[in-house]
Each structure stands twice: as structure tokens, then as C-alpha cells.
Chains A and B, each alone.
Chain A
Amino acid sequence: MDDPEGMVEEPLDILDQFRQRAHLSHGELWLRYFELGGMRTDLQIEAYICGIGDLGDHEHDMVAHALNERFVELGGNHPVPYVSDGPPP
């Protein structure tokens, strides 16, 4: 995920923190990501959301959306930001 200069850096495992808040196992998150068209393996996704490696913006946004759809199921909104939508205003 790009981090424009001057912005406060997110923790490397921010996506994993979202995953835990969404009460999803790594396997369940991967299946949801795969369902949305994701192309990476379960191990790659698990590593990435824990802050290891890079997926590219498009695959990152699929993981983000898999999490956000789960948050919607739980009565929330879309708390996980998308890279392709740019930084929040």
C-alpha cells in the first residue's frame, strides 16, 4: 500500500487487526477474497495481512472489500480503506 510522504504510517498488520475485529479466520477471509476474484494463495494473503510482502493495489483492495463486506454483515459500514480510492479527504 502506498504511503504518501507526510502521512502517519499504519501498523504493518493493520489488515490483520481488521480481520480479527471481523471475527474471520485466515481461511474464511481467503475464501471470501477468492470469491471476489482474488488471485493469490491463502498463504500469500495471510502473510500480506500480517505485514509481509506486497500484493499490488488491486489485490489489496479485494482483501479490503472482503473485510468490508464482512463488516456490513455485522452491521457496520466500510471501515477498511481502499488504495484505489486514494487517501481520505
Chain B
Amino acid sequence: MQEPEQSSEAATTGEQQGHLDVVSPPLVNSAAIGVGEIEPVASAELVRPEQLLSGMSSIISSEVLVDTVLRCIVTLVSVVVGRADGASVTLDRGGKLQTVASSNETVAQMDAAQYETGEGPCLDAARTGSAVHLDSVDDERRWPSFTSRAGLLGIRAVVSSPLSAHGIPAGALNIYSQSVGAFEARDLVLAQLFASEASLILSSSLSFASATGLTSRVQEALVARRVIAQAEGVIIEREGIAAEEAYTVIRRISITSGRTLRDEADVIVRSATTQTEAGDGRSGRDG
């Protein structure tokens, strides 16, 4: 666990004017990750965190880039937000929560403990989509196994901010501190800002869509659209009406039957197929 004001990054900047001074060099190496918009940061007097965030979400995101940028966010968060001693990003990948970026081993262990026990602020933020702030872990009673592990690892305060991709809950940005009351109102706003940017990056990532099962949702939606369009065709042919009217007919039938529109469309298509096959069978016998 690093002490924010004593970190090696702080030593390299040679400035000790509060925790905002210790912006670390990993973001400086923008060329290596293809982030042209992000300029090297020499001092927090020149660049505010909000400015640093600007433009990050507009990066064209490949799978490697997303993880790299999340690691940058974690590094940045752990030095600019309150008296943070570490930060991590938890993502839902294939229905399973994983830590995809962490600033040190302690926060990775804090995350892992929550995945194992199924309880803790990170899981709550990821599930509910609402931020969780523990000013003092000592006073927390909701998650006994979490507080016990936090005690062992010296964690006293936590902020977990929810992440989303395409509006769907996707994980959490977790910030841990060894100090009670480490996060003030300004830090909570900063945490939310970082989480929003991380969410935009996730939303622009095709690999993330694939990893979270969003692709399968879209594929299901495409299948549903095809079935509904086929049912429209059946109704158009049967009733001799326009496509939009046919759609309204299917909708009304579905409301009456209590089926979803997609299921009703499926029934209509199957029924038409069965009738066609029966007709073919008869004509076959007749012929």
C-alpha cells in the first residue's frame, strides 16, 4: 500500500503540494496506447483532473486499449481522489465479476474477497447501479465478511461507483483508503466523474459488448425482429392490409392472448407454416 504523498511518482515529479501533485507518469506515455488527446501531465497546477478526463472517452476502443485505459484511470484515481491508497475496476465479464485493473495487490485482494463471499460495497454498486460510500468500515454492519477482511488488510474507507455500458450495469470503480473519513464531497464527485468516463469507454468498446453478453442480446433482438417481420408478412397476405396495420393487428392479438409480441409473431408464423405444409401434403396426395 502506498502512502499518496510519499509515492515514487511523487518523488519523480519533485513536487509536494498536496495529493493533487502526485499525478503519475503512466498517462504521460500516451503514444504507447494511442491516446493522442492526452497531454503529459507535469503538475496538477497546470491540469485539473476534469480536464485530464476530457476526451478520454472519445478514444476508439479496442480490447487492449480498453484495459489499458482502465489501468490508467485506476492509477489516476488512486492519486487524485481524496486520501486514496488504491483503486480498482470491477467488470462483469460473461456474467462473472472480475478485477480488470488494480493499482496494487491489496485492493485486488479486497475485490477478490467480495467476489468469493458475494457481499461488499463493490458488488452492491455493480448490482444496484448506485454509488456506495463507507466513511468508516469499522461502523459498517451490512457485510460482516467484507469488514473482517478489510480489517485484516488495513482498509478503513471505501467508495464504489457503478459503471455501465450502453446503459446496462457493468461493474464498479472502487477506491480504497487506510484512513477513516478519507473521502469528502468533492472526492465523491470526482469518483463519479471517473466512473462516468470509464462507462463511456466501455460503451464504445465492441469487445466489451461481446464479453458482457450484449452481443447475444442484440442477436436475440435480430431474431425477434425477423420473426415479427415474417408474421407481418403472414397477416399482410391473409388480410390484404398494409405493413403497419399488420403490426397493429399482431400487437392487439398479443395483448389479448397475454403473449409477448415476439411470441405471438412466432405462433402466427408457425401456424402459417403448418397450414402451408398441410396444404402441400393434400395437394401431394391429390396429385
For A26, list chain B residues within 8 Å (CB).
167
Residue among B167, B224, B228, B260 having the largest count of chain A Cβ atoms under 10 Å: B167
* B221 interface residue per 8 A CB criterion: yes
User: What per-residue 1/0 map shows which CB atoms of B240-276 lie under 8 Å from chain A?
Assistant: 0000100110010001000011100000000000000
For A78, list chain B residues within 8 Å (CB).
255
Cβ–Cβ contact A27 & B166, under 8 A:
yes
Q: Contacts A28-B167, A35-B262, A65-B261 given; indicate if A84 touches B248 (C-beta within 8 A).
A: yes
* A31 interface residue per 8 A CB criterion: yes
For B220, list chain A residues within 8 Å (CB).
35
* B149 interface residue per 8 A CB criterion: no
User: What per-residue 1/0 map shows which CB atoms of A22-65 lie under 8 Å from chain B?
Assistant: 00011110110011110000000000000000000010010001
Cβ–Cβ contact A31 & B260, under 8 A:
no
User: What per-residue 1/0 map shows which CB atoms of A59-84 lie under 8 Å from chain B?
Assistant: 00100010011000000001000101
Specify the main secondary structure of chain A where it touches its partner. Answer: helix
Smallest beta-carbon distance A42→chain B, Å: 8
For B31, list chain A residues within 8 Å (CB).
none
For A65, list chain B residues within 8 Å (CB).
251, 261
Closest to B169 in A: A25
Cβ–Cβ contact B221 & A35, under 8 A:
yes
Cβ–Cβ contact B261 & A69, under 8 A:
yes
For A61, list chain B residues within 8 Å (CB).
248, 251
* B229 interface residue per 8 A CB criterion: yes
Which of these, A35, A69, A84, contacts B225 with CB under 8 Å? A35
Closest to B248 in A: A84
Smallest beta-carbon distance B268→chain A, Å: 14
* B99 interface residue per 8 A CB criterion: no
Interface set, chain B 200-222, CB cutoff 8 A to A = 217-218, 220-221
User: What per-residue 1/0 map shows which CB atoms of B159-185 lie under 8 Å from chain A?
Assistant: 000001011100000000000000000
For B224, list chain A residues within 8 Å (CB).
35-36
Q: Contacts A27-B167, A78-B255 given; indicate if A58 touches B262 (C-beta within 8 A).
A: no
**Bound Cα distance from A25 to B255, whole angstroms:** 24
Q: Contacts A31-B217, A36-B224, A37-B229 given; indicate if A58 touches B255 (C-beta within 8 A).
A: no
